Amino acid sequence: LPIWNPMPSAPTNTYNSAKGFTIKYPSDWTKDVPKSGAISVLFRMPTNNAAENLNVQVWNRSVNETLSSRTARTLEAVQDFSNYTEISAGNTTLGGNPAYTVTYTATYGGDHLKFTQIWTIKHGKEYIITYKADPKNFDTYASTAQQMIDSFKIN
């Protein structure tokens, strides 16, 4: 068995999406670009747990859609997850744009996970980044995930 190194590595590779954004990721995380579905790109952590990843979704929205209206809908949706417990929430920025973030624990797909989600709206598109991991691994990779989120740019 390979020795698993719990020291997180810095995001040095850049993923340039045809959906109009770039994000940096560590070379020891596996990049997956699904052919269909809501997720534009998914980066799997080196823990080999499929539920643990950072992913980016891009949704076309009406030009009238605002950050506050999306925030209300998104918070409503996540609060429906079983065992939902909010840890923190508030305004922030994403790629230099006004954004909203929430950190919570919930049971999703049968796994009890800790999540940080951050979203913004620009040019009629909503960009959502979700970092999720088993609560025991979450903090180990949280700084790497934050560096990835900080590297996010809308083209």
What tens digit of pLDDT does each residue of 93-132 get?
A: 999 999 999 999 999 889 999 999 999 999 899 999 999 9
CB of 41 closer than 8 Å to CB of 54:
no
Q: What is the mean pLDDT of residues 17-27?
A: 95
pLDDT number for residue 7: 64
Distance of CA 64 to the CA centre of its chain: 24
Q: 68 forms bridges with which residues in the sheet?
A: none
Residue pLDDT, tens place only, 62-89? 988 999 999 999 999 999 999 999 999 9
Burial bucket for residue 97 (CB in 10 Å: 0-12, 13-18, 19+): middle
Say which residues have a Cβ less than 8 Å from residue 22's Cβ, sequence separation at least 6: 14, 15, 16, 151, 152, 153, 155
What span, in angstroms and rounded, lies between the C-alpha atoms of 87 and 104? 5
CB of 135 closer than 8 Å to CB of 125:
no
Q: How high does pLDDT run on average in the chain?
A: 92
What span, in angstroms and rounded, lies between the C-alpha atoms of 81 and 98? 26
Q: Assign residue 76 a region: left if phi > 0, alpha if psi is -120 to 50, beta otherwise?
A: alpha
What span, in angstroms and rounded, lies between the C-alpha atoms of 150 and 152? 6
What span, in angstroms and rounded, lies between the C-alpha atoms of 10 and 28? 9
Comparing C-alpha atoms, which of 146, 143, 126 is closest to residue 71?
126
